[in-house]
Amino acid sequence: MNHPTDPSILIAAVHARAVNVPLEYPVRTSVGVIATAPLVLIDLHASDGSIGRAYLFTYTPLALEATRQMVTALGEVLKGQPLAPFDLDRLLAQRLRLLGRTGLAGMACAGLDMAAWDALAVARGLPLVELLGGRRRPIAAYDSHSLDGVELGVQRAERAVAQGFGAIKTKVGYATLAEDLRVVRALRQAIGDDTQLLVDYNQGLAGPEAVRRIHALEGEGIGWVEEPTLQEDYAGHARIRAQVRLPIQMGENWCGPDEMAKALEAGACDLVMPDAMKIGGVTGWLRAAALAQARGLPMSSHIFHEVSVHLLAVTPTCHLLERMDLAGPVLTEPLAFENGSAIAPPQPGTGIAWNEEAVRRFEVRAC
């Protein structure tokens, strides 16, 4: 085998498959319900035999085939290129200059970036975190829940506390403020005072209503309020932030570090939580982490916990890892959590490997 840094290690092929995976609990939000996890599974083959794997989450099955095709098409652009992720990122940026790297194109680029980094780490025989210059260490996580109401919400919260999680997140934005408070207070009673309680409005409120509801939550021991209004309204978030005492969290919908920079310049948030897919994969995450470090902002993750556990370990302002298992049913070894934390697995790469029997069961083939 060639030395991993040898430029003769090239990208030989990229394969993409679509699956629609069941969720233990549907993801209920104030703006809609995600009943299943539609995923595009990526296998990037290098000329030395290394394989890099990653997945994309398309939110709706309607986007599965289009995303799979975009990954396949951009994979053809990368064939024959050296396995050098920063160079690949520049190449894709150049090829998509006129179209832009947002939407499905941006997601596809991020998936290829994550797969390329995974392949490079496999080629070097290192876990991704070590390839990036960090070390495997426990990363504190929060258990991420939905708009569950009181009965299911309390049941899930008690289970999370029993599993050792020091923080849970619930989605709010019920029809009335009274219902928000009823759920939040029931969860607080269930988890006690030592467990952090985080809330997420999923962009569901207009500015004045967001201020009203957040003021009402200020005596409930809330750790952060996530996306109270439209995520692209950075000025609106800044106005809300100026009028409330609770920390404002956002970032899962930033499409690349440039959008993150605009939000930070507007003073839109106290905390940041990029999404590994939307921020631009490993390469985009590293750039985002530098922006957070420059402003001293705690940085958490949004879904994709298999890769995020590696990335947070090299993030200077590392805060919390989101535990939300989207891909577990199609993985041979889902990421393990112990006492409310996760550690990047010791095998080379990210540790993502497909359970092929499950992939066949949940695969969605183009008509």
Q: Which residues are known catalytic residues?
A: 171, 302
CA–CA separation, 79 vs 187, rounded Å?
A: 51
CA–CA separation, 116 vs 9, rounded Å?
A: 12
| DSSP symbols for 41-73 | EEEEEETTS-EEEEEEE-SSGGGHHHHHHHHHH
Which two tokens mark 178? Answer: 């009274």
CA–CA separation, 293 vs 283, rounded Å?
A: 16
How many CA within 13 A on the CB side of residue 268?
A: 27
Beta-bridged to residue 248, according to DSSP, are: 225
Is the separation of the CB atoms in 63 and 103 below 8 Å?
Answer: no
Question: Rg of the Cα trace of the chain?
Answer: 20
- Please report, as a single letter, which amino acid is at residue 219: G
Is the separation of the CB atoms in 174 and 199 below 8 Å?
Answer: no
